[in-house]
Amino acid sequence: MARALDEARQAGEAGEAPIGAVLVSAAGEILAAAGNAPIASHDPTGHAEIRTLRKAAARTSNYRLPETTLYVTLEPCAMCAGAISIARVKRLVIAASDPKGGAVWHGPKYFEQPTCHWRPEVAEGPFGDEAGDMLRAFFKARR
């Protein structure tokens, strides 16, 4: 999760929402890491989770990423939750909850829907306060 926070910091410094993600194999190897970049990439799907899953899928030559753990600094949105399900990520560890835009513990609760074909194990991770503080400071500075 510390690496995901670093990715989030870098995204924030680049003017993106400070959100980061890291995907780790069952052996503990970092397969991919990324921060948010929809602005720089001109891509509405340029969320940290999507970018991380894309990098890992390219690296492993497989769109399915079984036996992996995804660490994220913020509760994923519905788009990212869908991608996590399709990729068959085994475990999702979330630092900070997102009552407004989250789709795991809030909103549509994507993994609880009958149309969801794969549900990762979901856990609350460390650094929730740090991730939340980083996001609050970022958005406060822009208001």
Domains of the chain in start order, with CATH, are 1-141 (3.40.140.10)
What local confidence, expressed as pLDDT, does residue 37 receive?
A: 98
Claim: this prediction has a pTM higher than 0.85: yes
What local confidence, expressed as pLDDT, does residue 143 receive?
A: 76
What local confidence, expressed as pLDDT, does residue 55 receive?
A: 98
49 given a catalytic annotation: yes
What local confidence, expressed as pLDDT, does residue 62 receive?
A: 97
Give the dihedral sign, CA 82/113/92/103: positive
Of 16, 49, 67, 124, the catalytic one is 49
Residues 6+ apart with CB under 8 A from 110: 78, 81, 82, 85, 103, 104, 116
Q: What is the pLDDT confidence band of residue 142, given thresholds at 50, 70 and 90?
A: confident
Which positions make up the binding site for Zn(2+)? 47, 77, 80
